[in-house]
Every structure is written in C-alpha cells, then in structure tokens.
Structure 1
C-alpha cells in the first residue's frame, strides 16, 4: 500500500486546484473512492444559504460555488449504527503559486530524498491522502471482522481558503443519511493535537483628505498622517489585547491575536497630495470571543483617534467588513475524540500529546458550530504553507496515517459507543480578560 499511497498523493498534487478550479481533481478523487468500494457522496454549496452565514459576504453573487463539488467516501464496519461515525476532512483547494519564486514546477511533484515538493504538499493534500489511506487500511484489516462498528467518512472539500465553502455547506445541510459524531481535520499541525483555532475579521478602512499640487501641498490635506495615527492606535490595541485577552493554549505565542495591515493604497499621482487611502486589515479573534466583539473594539479605537481631530471629525473614515470572516473554534478536552487521538499518538511514538492552539482559522469551526466535536491533526507545518517550494517530509505523512488508523480502530472498537450531547463545546481553561 505504501507505493500506492505515494502515487495517489503525487497524482493529487499534480492537479491545479486553485480556488474555482477544483472540479477535475474532485472527479478523480470520487472515482478513486468508488474504486476502493467506498459509498460516495457529492454536494455543491448553495450561495443563498452561505450568504446568511456569518463567515461569508451577504451578497450570494459574490460567493462562487458553481462547478465546485465537494466529495466524500463512506466505509462501514460491522453494525454502523451501533458505533461512531467519524469524519476525516481535508480541503483540496490550494493558494496560487508564484511560479517564478519556485525552484521546481509547483504542480509537478518533485522528490528531494524523502521530501515531497509541490503546491499543496503541506496545505493540505498530503494530509487528505493520509485520511483516505487510513480509512482504506482499516477497512482492509477488518474485512471479515465484527470487532468494529461504525462509519468512516473521508471528505475532500472545496473553498477552504475562501471561508470553507464545502465544509460550511456540509455543516449547514448534512449531505449524508446519518449523523456525525466527531471529526478530524488533517491540517498541517506538525503531528500535534490542535483543539483550538483562532478566528479573524477582515476590515476595509477608507480615508478621504484633500488633493493639492505637491508644490503647494499646504493647500491640501494628506491622508497619510491621519492613517499613521490610526495605524499606531491599532498597534497599541494589538499590544493591549495580547496582555488582556488570555487563553491557556496561546501563551506560547508572542502576539496571539495579531492585527495586520495587509494592503494600503493611497494617492493617485506622485506630484499630488494624497487625498484618498484604502487599507485592508486582518484582526485576530481569540477562542471565546466573537468576530463582532473584536470588530467593535477596533471601531472604538479608531473612533478615539477621530475624536478631537477637526479634520477627521468632519471627514470620518469608513470601516466595513469585506471578504470572509473566520469565527474561532475550540473543543472540550473531555471529548472522546481528543482522548482517542492522544492515545493513537502515543502508540506511534509521539510523546507530546498536549492539546495546542493554532493562530490560523480552519474548517473545524464549521463542524464545531454544528455541534460535531472536531480536532486538527496532520503532517507538515503551517510555516511551510503558502510559501514557494512548499514541501513535506514523507515519513511524517506515513506517521500521520498510522496514528489515524490506531485512533479510529480504538473508536470503532469500543464496546459501548460514547455518544456526546449535541451542544456547543467550550475549551478547558477558556479565555478570560484581566
């Protein structure tokens, strides 16, 4: 199975699955799932439904879902209704590759020893492959056995980089004729157990000044000094939030809730006073907070800059959400999926099984919102994602698959399944404000 595992991953990496171009890969994955005897499902997101979701823009026309199917394969064990149903989730979409910065073709998988180089190697096609081959291996080991009961669902979803189009739809409108008890999302966690993911709010700031010829710039009103005061205020807010918004899983991060001014466009001509400015800002949201709360804190801080400034009071900046928003998510450490995954990690030589927090967002939040306890666990590092020459060590991919096999065998082999109540889950030691 090892050579098949590598070949499958290489083929998957060869598909150019930038956002909106996932369909060919998804058709191939579904055929692969059919070929190994999994019952397959397919769904396409409804933009009208997503437009009512807080993660997405309110205009359905801006949410691209056509020809973007998500697919899944289901394998059943023993009496499936007597055991747990576990979802193994991965996203097939990747971010664009700046090909001039790569040493190899991003979509021609290349081996450097046991390191596999390609766009999506870490984020997260290798993890998706590990999910499929873990389910396949467990099914092969238990062909005639009645020791396991339950179901495994291997999902390949689209649009994660755009807010989680496929996963959000699966959470909002269950595509299966059965309930789901827990999920594992195979994001690159460096083979660590991640039980909390950060959220983010995307805000667009616009400022208006007064244009003038550069030779008589005192006749105009440059937006740049005003923006610099706002940017300084946001930096101070970031520092304050790092001290006052706490969470036990995020103490290892110097700046756990970053505020990043990602783009700034100002002025229209070098010989004119810059009279307009547009800045796009990403603000981190801690587990236990809401996007709305954090947006309000940013608005209050900008309002404080405006107060007392004659020009800004007469020409206040506008601030609005844009793109997609990520709500934070966390799962209780008492959930069986956490306990079983920790045991599977220990079985495979991973000594550090302590739950961790991640400063990025993930599709886990959609399943958590649907009261499906969800953790992150996968090979590779987020530090390598979205970068030129993205790569992953194959031994880590193999190890992640082995951990999943042992974890799932333990869950499906329980004499009495532990069905958790379908309520929202709060993490151990949730955040507090000092």
Structure 2
C-alpha cells in the first residue's frame, strides 16, 4: 500500500488512463483497496444493457466496454444495517493531453509549490484520492475515538468522459449485495456543494445543396447561406432560453443553457460550390427539462427556417442524435446527504455552503436516476479541467478529505470533530 496521501495521488496521476486505457490503473487501485483491508468489487459494463439506456448509442457495437473494469472497496462500521450506506465516487479516466501545449509531461506529476500538475489532477484523480484517504482515516478514527454504524463504498469508475460507462452500469445493475442510501461524486467543485447538474443533447445536422464550378457558382446551391440562417436561429433560441428557462441555482450564469456548434464540415473542393454540410451541435438541458423536450424545441426552431424556403422545403435538413446524451439531475436540499455535507463544510471553515448548480454533466445523474440522492463535492476547479498544465492546489485536496471524514462520521452516527 502506498501509505502517503501525496505519494498515492502522484502514482495515480502517473497512469495514462485515457478512455479505453484504464485497466492497469484500476488493477492497481483494487490492490490498494485490498491492502487497506476493504472488501473489493469489480464490474465491467454490459454493452447490450447500456445500449438500452437513453444516454448511450443504441448500437452495442459502438460501446467500448471490454477490459475496462470499474472497482470499489467497501468498509463496514459497527452494525452496518443500523446506519447509512454511502458511496464516494470518482472516475479514473481522463481526456487526452496535447503534449506540445504543456510545460511538463502530462503524466509525470510535477510540483510547483503546493500546486500538483498533471493530466487528471483537477478532473478528477485528486478527488478520487481524497475519497480513498477519507475512508482510510475514518477507519482509523472509528477504532480510536468513536463507535460508528454504517457502510462506506469507495468507487473508481471508468468512462465518465464517454457518458459514465462505469457509473451507469453500477446504477442499472447494482454490483453490491446491499442497497445504497446516498452518494458523493468528487468532481472538481472548488470545495463548493453542487446539487444540480445540467444535461445536454448532441445533435448532428446535415444539409444538402447542389455542386457547381466556382466560376459559375450561380448554377449551384451553396449550403453555407442555409446553414448561416440555421445558426442564427439557434443563437436566437439560446438567448430566448436564457431568459425564459429559469432555475434558482443558475442565475449566476450569463448563458445557462448554451447551444454550441462544435464542428462544421462543408464542401469537398475549393473550386466547387459546397453541396454538403455536416454540423455537430451541443444543446444545454436545464434541470427539470428532459433531453427529448429540448431536442423537440431545437427541431421546431430549425423548422421555422425551413418553412418558406423553397430549397430547404424540397431538400429538408436531417437532424439526428449522436454520441452520448446527458440528462440533467438535481437533489432535494432536504436530503440528509446535503445537510450533513453542509455541516461538514462549516466544521472545516468553508464560508460558502450554499448549494450551487453546474453547467456540466456528471455521473451523479445515473445515481439520481436509480433513486440514490447524490451531490458533487471536490477540490480543484472545472476551469482547469481538460486544459494544458492542469493542476490542483494540495491544500484543497487535504481540505476536501477532511470535509468528507467529518461528513461521514456524522452520517454514521458520530459527531463532527
């Protein structure tokens, strides 16, 4: 067992765990959990089951799940049936790193003072590390100081960046012989309590025009003006939704439900009128909405551009879902997990315990859908996630671990330190 908190985190960050390459790290983490005396579990997602889930593509062959285990360690306190069963969840997968944009090797953890730099430092291996060491400290504290009752699960899941492969499977098919009462996902929240996450729907737009030689372009029908009218309509829709779709946790955001055209591919030759266009669009979905509802709103807005346009009426654009969809999720502020975490934050002198909303999606939605109240709380900032020179301030990692320890101790019947 790598006993030191910093050493463990450094080792975890040294694994290259881009999507599909998590197995070695997961085997190591399971070994660490075994060494801590935890009862360990492992599961691999069933692509057929995921394909039946609305978040994932319907073709199982497109889902890469082989040799991608999720792992967990379970520790019980006193009479576990008399207390709560709490899940601490983190994902081990990271997004790719563009080495030429980094000042250091992304997978060689580097210290700059108290800042730990590496791919995954913010999103979210430092949070995962804090979960494991919070559990370890609680075991030691229980033996020495107070009698607790409950059960704690520390999860390291795969494929979060691809829609939550490991967490979705754990929600759809419980890998444990017990039920789960609540969960904390250690995403980078800057030590703030996040109780609502935004959803998103991914749509692929295809337009058809008519090719012609650029020297006689009037003989063709360029897709570009048609796309520009659609893009303008979507931008107007985004503005309207920012004003009309409201949520108390999202008032701070200038554009709470963004509509982003992420990729555009048009034409085939510089000297030809572009006759085809494919654009990929991400549309934000507010808590309280559904992916299907928002998709329908987008379709209706595009239809207003088509109506009255002779070319588009004769050659209507296609709009289809692709990739992974994220349903929004939120948890009631009356849930014990929310209130105990707020108390743990106060005990550790975090001034702002007000619940927040996040404009990104997270694995919390899978647990919420399974009836497991789930919040987000972790060190680092989402502003650092997926960026070159990603880092976390170590004091925040330590503090997140301390908050988790005090929160869990209270949930299991102890007192805040």
Q: Secondary structure at the match of 1:387?
A: coil
Summarize deviations over 1:27-69 as a string: whole Å, max 9, x none: 0000000001000000000000000001000000001100000
Distance 1:297 1:380 in 2: 35
Aligned-partner SS, 1:403? helix
Q: Rate the CA distance shift 1:190–1:169 in 2: closer, same or farther, 3 A.
A: same
Question: Whole-Å Cα distance in 1 between the matches of residues 325 and 239 of structure 2?
Answer: 22
* CA-CA distance at 1:433 after TM superposition: 41
Secondary structure of 2:3's partner?
A: helix
Which residues of structure 1 form unaligned runs of 5+?
Answer: 413-431
| Conservation of the 8 A alpha-carbon contact between 2:2 and 2:32 | no
Alignment deviations for residues 270-291 of structure 1 (CA, whole Å, 9 cap, x no partner) = 0100000000000000000000
1:147 is displaced (CA, Å) by 1.9
**How far, CA to CA, are the matches of 1:268 and 1:10 in structure 2?**
47
Q: CA deviation at 1:143?
A: 2.2
C-alpha deviations, 1:207-257, integer Å up to 9, x for none? 010000000000000000000000000000000000000000000000000
- SS of the aligned residue for 1:203 comes to strand
Partners of 1:121 and 1:55 lie apart in 2 by: 27
2:154 corresponds to 1:154: yes
Q: Match of 2:416?
A: 433
1:192–1:2 distance in 2 versus 1, CA, 3 Å: farther
Q: Closer, same or farther in 2 for the Cα pair 1:124/1:433, shift >3 Å? A: closer
Change (3 A) 1:207 1:201: same
> Is the 1:78–1:146 contact (alpha carbons within 8 Å) kept by the matching residues of 2?
no
Query: Is 2:2–2:8's contact at 8 Å kept on the other side of the alignment?
Result: no
How large is the RMSD of aligned CA atoms in angstroms? 3.7
1-structure distance, mates of 2:86, 2:208: 52
CA shift, 1:118, in A, is 0.2
The structural deviation recorded for 1:145 is 6.2
Q: Superposition pairs for residues 5-44 of structure 1, below 5 Å?
A: 5-44=5-44
> Tell me, which stretches of 5 or more residues in structure 2 are unaligned?
none
Deviation at 1:146, TM superposition (A): 6.2
Deviates more, 1:92-101 or 1:3-12: 3-12
Once the two structures are TM-superposed, the CA of residue 141 in structure 1 deviates from its matched residue by 1.1
**How much does 1:3 deviate?**
7.2
Contact 1:45 1:165 in 2 (8 A): yes
Question: Does the 8 A contact of 2:88 with 2:152 survive in 1?
Answer: yes
For normalisation by structure 1, the TM-score amounts to 0.94
User: Residues 128-147 of structure 1: CA distance to partner in whole angstroms, max 9, x if unpaired?
Assistant: 00000000000011126662
In the TM superposition, structure 1's runs of 4+ consecutive aligned residues that sit over 4 Å from their partners are: none
Q: Is the 8 A contact 1:246 1:433 kept in 2?
A: no
Contact preservation (8 Å) 1:77, 1:146: no
Q: 1:244, 1:433 within 8 Å by CA — same for their partners in 2?
A: no
CA contact under 8 A between 2:407 and 2:416: conserved in structure 1? no
1:122–1:392: 8 Å Cα contact kept in structure 2?
A: yes
Q: CA contact under 8 A between 1:90 and 1:124: conserved in structure 2?
A: yes
- 1:132-189 CA distance string (max 9 Å, x none): 0000000011126662000110000000000000000000000000000000000000
Matches of 1:201 and 1:333 in 2, distance apart? Answer: 26
**Structure 2 CA distance for partners of 1:76 and 1:28, relative to 1, 3 Å:** same
Contact kept? 2:97, 2:119, Cα under 8 Å: yes
Q: Distance in 2 between matches of 1:3 and 1:246?
A: 47
Deviations 1:100-151 (A, max 9, x none): 1000000000000000000000000000000000000000111266620001
In 1: Cα distance, 2:12 partner to 2:301 partner: 46
8 A contact 1:68–1:158 mirrored in 2: yes
1:278 match: secondary structure: strand
Give the TM-score of the pair, scaled to structure 2: 0.98
CA separation in 1, counterparts of 2:191 and 2:381? Answer: 9
Contact in 1 for aligned 2:206/2:276 (Cα 8 Å): yes
Q: Distance in 2 between matches of 1:404 and 1:142?
A: 14
2:406–2:416 CA contact under 8 A, matched in 1: no
C-alpha separation in 2, matches of 1:271 and 1:390? 43
SS at the partner of 2:135?
helix
Q: Confirm whether residue 52 of structure 1 aligns to residue 52 of structure 2.
A: yes
Q: Is the partner of 2:332 in helix, strand or coil?
A: coil
Q: For residues 375-423 of structure 1, what are the alpha-carbon distances to aligned partners after superposition, in whole Å with 9 as ceiling and x for unaligned? A: 00000000000000000000000000000000000000xxxxxxxxxxx
Give the Å deviation of 1:324: 0.1
Q: Residue 406 of structure 2 aligns to a residue in which SS?
A: helix
Q: Distance in 1 between matches of 2:335 and 2:396?
A: 25
Q: Give secondary structure in 2 for the equivalent of 1:2.
A: coil
Q: For residues 202 and 25 of structure 1, do their structure 2 counterparts lie closer, same or farther at Cα, with a shift above 3 Å needed?
A: same
Contact 1:207–1:278 (Cα < 8 Å) also in 2? yes
Q: Output the CA distance in 2 between the equivalents of 1:188 and 1:235.
A: 29
Alpha-carbon deviation of 1:362? 0.1
Is the 1:245–1:433 contact (alpha carbons within 8 Å) kept by the matching residues of 2? no
Kindly provide the CA deviation profile for residues 10-41 of structure 1, in whole angstroms up to 9, marking residues without a partner as x: 00000000000000000000000000100000
